[in-house]
Amino acid sequence: MTETLPILYVPAPILRQKAKPVGTGDADAVRALAEKMLATMYKAPGVGLAAPQVGVGLRMVVLDCGPKDAPAPMVLVNPELVAASQELAVREEGCLSLPNQFADVTRPYRVKVRYLSLDGAKQEVEGEGLLSACLQHEIDHLDGKLFVDYLSILKRNMLLRRLAKELKAKVRED
């Protein structure tokens, strides 16, 4: 069984920092990291995980928006949003770094993302619905942005206070 990594929670500083591009010399480390990140994401359980969420400041995300009975894991190295539709969609989002916190977020309905595969090949993926939201959410992590940044200040502060209270209670239980 593949080793999993601890997921960092808000307010971990790395979650607010811009991640560095993965370089050509990082190939072996990135391959090992991708395997651990996928194992961590599935165990959590979640549909996406960005390297900063496990304490690694590199531009890499893993995601799987496929049905539970047909996993379709993806690893995106140095992903960049290259196109987004004018049409918007509202979806409820959550985040493994903000456990049990959910809110409606408005984002472009359809996006196109350019990235490198683990073997260094240039790739593109187009997504709509859940895949679009997941791609945008994970790329935001690479830029130090969280889904709560799309909320009103009042709603964001309520959610962050609730998270802090829940995490404090969890520490007392442990």
Enumerate residues 6+ apart whose C-beta is below 8 A from 51.
19, 33, 37, 57, 58, 59, 60, 61, 142
Q: What is the number of structural domains in the chain? A: 1
Burial class from Cβ neighbours inside 10 Å (0-12, 13-18, 19+) for residue 158 reads middle
Specify the 3-state DSSP secondary structure of 10.
coil
CA distance 131 to 117: 17
Residue 3 annotated among the catalytic residues of the structure = no
In a domain, 26, yes or no: yes
Mean pLDDT in each 10-residue stretch from start to end of the chain (174 residues)? 92 97 86 96 96 97 90 96 97 96 97 95 96 98 98 96 90 73
In a domain, 92, yes or no: yes
Please state whether the predicted TM-score (pTM) of the whole model is above 0.85: yes
In a domain, 44, yes or no: yes
In a domain, 8, yes or no: no
- What pLDDT does 4 receive? 95
- Look up the CATH number of the domain holding residue 79: 3.90.45.10
Check 87, 93, 138, 166 and give the catalytic one.
138
- What pLDDT does 174 receive? 66
Domain that holds residue 23: 13-173
CA distances from 72 to 48, 63, 75, 166, 169 (A): 12, 8, 10, 32, 36
Cα distance between the two ends of the chain: 25
In a domain, 103, yes or no: yes
- Positions of E strands within the chain: 48-50, 60-63, 74-84, 88-95, 98-108, 110-116, 122-128
In a domain, 37, yes or no: yes
In a domain, 125, yes or no: yes
Alpha carbon 23 to its chain centroid, in Å, reads 20
